[in-house]
Amino acid sequence: MKKFTMCIAFLLAGVFVMNAQDAASIVDAARNRITSATMSTRSRMVITAKNGSTTERLIDQYSKDDAQGNVRAVIVFQRPANVAGTRFLTIDNASGGSDRWIYLPSLGKVRRIAASESGGSFMGTDFSYDDISALSRDTNLDAHTLLREETVNGASCYVIQSVSKDGSYQYSKTISWIDKNKLLLYKSEMYDRRGALIKVMENSEYKDVQGRLTAMQTKVSTIAAGTSTTIYMEIVKYDDPIPEAVFTTAYLETGRAR
């Protein structure tokens, strides 16, 4: 996992002044706030339909950067039976771009996720494939601007707008609320290319896990559809050994690290 980076703010004549570089530094610090060799989690995913009905899934996730700084994560669906055995691998490359593969037991083979599918729904949830990689997105891919300061969850927050520099990202802009003191990301709003708000992500229930403040609940809501997906962390472990073989397409296919 990437190392923590300190950001700098300036108060001049009682007026908060921040340039684009400072805003980028805050975003980068928030994304790279936690330092760890690995991260292993078990979580309960609750998908809520427009009519209020819910479905639940149990998932495991393993994350580990490689020696080149590529961010790798594997998600394994444990239950219910109709998704059990589904495995997903994403590699966010330090040089830019992402590589993604999924293994569906019903197909019996690994399928590469095309770049054109990055905005599509991940396994019927409110998360897109891009959303899965959002926190490891390279800060330099976007132009960041401080819009204002607001209080969220009783904490003073920077409100920062991020806009893709080359226009290739699925969102035209993202607006994030970041705790000024602890650099915790509380909320993000995602907008489509017409400037309409399409999704809201909220992180809450931060808990000290092995000396690291960790969001134990993440909710993504799709505004127009009236649906949401909430992830409740049940187990979080940092720095546990994870075999390199886990981050391969062979592991996706067999479920065995060898």
The answer to whether 47 and 69 have CB atoms below 8 angstroms apart is no
The distance from CA 116 to its chain's CA centroid, rounded to whole angstroms, is 19
Q: Which segment of 20-34, 168-182, 185-199 scores lowest on mean pLDDT? A: 20-34
Range 195-206 average pLDDT: 97
Is it the case that residue 131 has pLDDT exceeding 70?
A: yes
pLDDT in the model for residue 20: 56
**Is position 17 within any domain?**
yes
**Is position 239 within any domain?**
yes
**Is position 173 within any domain?**
yes
- 3 state DSSP class of 201: strand
pLDDT digits (tens, 9 = 90+) for 203-229: 999 999 999 999 999 999 999 999 999
Confidence of residue 118 (pLDDT cuts 50, 70, 90): confident
**Is position 235 within any domain?**
yes
Confidence of residue 95 (pLDDT cuts 50, 70, 90): confident
The answer to whether 216 and 196 have CB atoms below 8 angstroms apart is no
pLDDT digits (tens, 9 = 90+) for 7-32: 333 233 233 444 555 999 999 999 99
Is it the case that residue 137 has pLDDT exceeding 50?
A: yes
The total number of structural domains in the chain stands at: 1
Question: How many CB atoms are located within 10 Å of the residue 250 CB?
Answer: 13
Strand partners, 38: 64
The answer to whether 98 and 92 have CB atoms below 8 angstroms apart is yes
pLDDT in the model for residue 16: 41
Token digits of residue 139: 């800060």
Range 169-194 average pLDDT: 95
Rounded CA separation 31/160 (Å): 13
**Is position 2 within any domain?**
no
pLDDT in the model for residue 21: 58
**Is position 249 within any domain?**
yes
Rounded CA separation 220/122 (Å): 12
pLDDT in the model for residue 17: 43
Range 170-183 average pLDDT: 95
88 Cβ contact list (under 8 Å, min separation 6) = 74, 75, 76, 100, 101, 102, 103, 122, 123, 132, 252
pLDDT in the model for residue 2: 45
Token digits of residue 238: 């940092």
pLDDT in the model for residue 181: 94
- 3 state DSSP class of 145: strand
**Percent of the chain at pLDDT above 70?**
92
**Is position 1 within any domain?**
no
pLDDT in the model for residue 15: 34
Residue 164: Cβ-neighbour burial (10 angstroms; 0-12, 13-18, 19+): middle
Range 151-170 average pLDDT: 92
By C-alpha distance, which of 134, 104, 108 is closest to 199?
134
Rounded CA separation 98/159 (Å): 27
**Is position 138 within any domain?**
yes
The angle subtended at Cα 8 by Cα 7 and Cα 14, nearest 5°, is 145
Mean pLDDT of the chain: 89
Print the domain residue range for 175: 10-254
- 3 state DSSP class of 37: coil
pLDDT in the model for residue 123: 93
Is it the case that residue 64 has pLDDT exceeding 60?
A: yes
**CATH code at position 232:** 2.50.20.10
pLDDT in the model for residue 11: 31
Is it the case that residue 189 has pLDDT exceeding 50?
A: yes
Maximum CA extent, the chain: 65
Q: Which segment of 16-20, 38-42, 43-47, 132-136 scores lowest on mean pLDDT? A: 16-20
pLDDT in the model for residue 138: 85
Rounded CA separation 234/216 (Å): 8
Backbone angles phi, psi at 156, to 5 degrees: -75, 130
- 147 vs 135 pLDDT, higher one: 147
